[in-house]
Structure 1
Amino acid sequence: MTTTIDIDVRLDSPQWQARLPDAEARCGRLAATALEAVDLPDGVVELSIVLADDEAVRALNKGWRGKDAPTNVLSFAALDEEDAPLVEGAPLLLGDVILAFETCAAEASDQGKSLEDHFSHLVIHGVLHLLGFDHEDEEEAIEMEALESALLASLGIADPYGDEEEDEGP
């Protein structure tokens, strides 16, 4: 048996389509890249990505994390619960990744990055959270950032954590 990946992308903010016309297709490719970094079980693996705006993400952030502000990306991992149901033969539900357009676009501009590259980083970052990666302590952060950097490099995207002066490129 093999693994089948089912990625549902929902476009809730038209701003994504206006600035990144291929945002939905990109999500599929980027999520698949992140998922290839781990050994997935045979069968169907499902996740969703929602391309939202700051208002929607702010409401989620307030309701779930007690933070009354938008953030760039939120991940809601279905496997965070130790007693999450794993039913043989049923799809493995990884969870949801939600991105906020205005915050992502502002960060890309502030950091001198293209929206495409910053978006790519955040989708991969969010999917890695669904897979159990985190950055709560320094050791976890180093591991997660190294994996993100390697995955982005495989796509020809510069290290989002690196110093531009140290970038030696190919």
Structure 2
Amino acid sequence: MGTGRVAVSDGIEVIVEAPEWETIGLGQLAARAIGAALRDAGLDPARAEVAVLACADARIGALNGQFRDKDAATNVLAFPAQELGPQSPGAAPAAPAGPALGDIAIAWETCAREAADAGKPVADHATHLLVHATLHLLGYRHDAAADAARMEGREARILAALGLPDPYDGGPTPGSTGGN
């Protein structure tokens, strides 16, 4: 299994740098997770553009340092293409103005470690992280309590639709290692 691009579906592209991601079928998993989050927001995944970098801790640590001034690996980062954040705490974000939503980076070692610590399959935890990051691309935030409650509720609903349990009933949360 090598490193390379994997076109997943119409507007979702996965770039695999860490081959370990291929062991869980990240391409299909990303299409499913991101697609579910987009559909939940009333968007057509075929008309959205999202890129996913499936990397190792070293790469995400460099990105975290470069873009967030945090010199450490994290589980997931989201780089929105549009400023869609809520106008007031707890309010819904604005709708995207175009198809380009942004980029997501997800780190294998951190994701796998968090999944093992929580007794979850890596694929389930990665699904949660991808849903979480997609919501960030759509303007959801979790820095204020009202925003966090809105975002976590939406994540739980999306994951339930995918047949996965509520991640906020225990175990690591997407921001537990400084993720975005």
Question: By the TM > 0.5 criterion, same fold?
Answer: yes
Q: How far did residue 44 of structure 1 move? A: 3.0
The corresponding residue for 1:49 is 52
The corresponding residue for 1:127 is 134
Which blocks of at least 5 consecutive residues in structure 1 are unaligned?
A: 165-170
Q: How far did residue 163 of structure 1 move? A: 4.8
**Which of the residues 86, 98, 103 maps onto 1:96?**
103
Given the two structures, how large is their TM-score scaled by the length of structure 2? Answer: 0.78
Alignment of 1:152 with 2:159, yes or no, is yes
The corresponding residue for 1:68 is 71
Does the 8 Å contact 2:84/2:138 carry over to 1? no
The corresponding residue for 1:58 is 61
Q: How far did residue 29 of structure 1 move? A: 1.2
Q: How far did residue 96 of structure 1 move? A: 0.3
The corresponding residue for 2:147 is 140
Q: Distance in 1 between matches of 2:165 and 2:40?
A: 18
**Residue type of the alignment partner of 2:27:** E
Q: Distance in 2 between matches of 1:101 and 1:79?
A: 26
Which blocks of at least 5 consecutive residues in structure 2 are unaligned?
A: 1-8, 86-96, 172-180
The corresponding residue for 2:114 is 107
**Residue type of the alignment partner of 2:101:** L
**Residue type of the alignment partner of 1:110:** D
Q: Distance in 1 between matches of 2:118 and 2:111?
A: 11
Q: Does 26-35 or 154-163 show the bigger shift?
A: 154-163
The corresponding residue for 2:36 is 33
The corresponding residue for 1:12 is 17
Q: How far did residue 5 of structure 1 move? A: 5.2
Does the 8 Å contact 2:54/2:106 carry over to 1? yes
Is the partner of 2:82 in helix, strand or coil? Answer: helix
How many residue pairs align between the two structures? Answer: 152
Change in Cα spacing, 1:112 to 1:56, as seen in structure 2 (3 Å) is same
Q: How far did residue 40 of structure 1 move? A: 3.3
- Give deviations 1:82-140, integer Å, cap 9, x for gaps: 9xxx5xxxx62100011000000000011111111101100100111000011011000
Q: RMSD across aligned C-alpha pairs, in angstroms? A: 2.2
* Regions of 4+ moved over 3 Å: none
Q: How far did residue 153 of structure 1 move? A: 0.7
Is the partner of 2:104 in helix, strand or coil? Answer: strand
Given the two structures, how large is their TM-score scaled by the length of structure 1? Answer: 0.83
Does the 8 Å contact 2:128/2:167 carry over to 1? yes
